[in-house]
Amino acid sequence: MAANEMRETLEPSGIATHDGKRPDGCTLIPWRAGRCLAWDVTVPGTFAERYVQLTSKESGLAATRASDEKIKKYDGALPSMEFLPICIEVLGPMNRNTSGFFNRICKNISIRPGDSRKYFFAMNNISCILHRFLRVCVLENVELNADGVE
């Protein structure tokens, strides 16, 4: 977000739903239509028992299901903000809204004057960061499962 000249706050203390739930972050300046953007990140396990029936049929359905659950959780809870669930499965697939969000961020970065390859570089950096993060998720899962087997 910093390259996009957008300021954000992680786990903002002043934003909470009536039942105390808080999004993972929000922009400090308006995102669209004069409303700030709040987001909540979820990384569902592609092979988790609750998702395996979905992911065995179609790639990305665990991320889509997790996104739907987040939308229900925050439905109407943040009326002054636009809410975006960011959902990326452990093996990489993401829901359509998350993909569109990353695309928009990279397009916003690339419209700045200068190198016309900024979009490519921004998308490449996001991809590398996500791969590193997801690698850690997979390794932690392997370690947890290995600890249970003796």
Q: Residue 66: inside a domain, yes or no?
A: yes
pTM: 0.76
Q: Residue 133: inside a domain, yes or no?
A: yes
Q: In what order do the strands lie in the sheet with 36-42?
A: 8-10, 25-27, 36-42, 81-87
Q: What is the pLDDT along the chain (150 residues), one digit of tens a residue?
A: 555 555 555 555 556 666 667 888 888 888 888 999 999 999 998 888 888 898 889 999 999 999 999 999 888 888 888 999 999 998 889 999 999 999 998 888 887 666 668 888 889 999 999 999 888 888 887 777 776 555
Q: Which domain holds residue 36?
A: 8-148
Q: Residue 2: inside a domain, yes or no?
A: no
Q: Residue 1: inside a domain, yes or no?
A: no
Which among 29, 91, 40, 32 is positioned nearest to 70, based on CA atoms?
A: 40
The count of structural domains within the chain is: 1
Cα gap 104→61, rounded to integer Å: 22
Cα gap 1→91, rounded to integer Å: 24
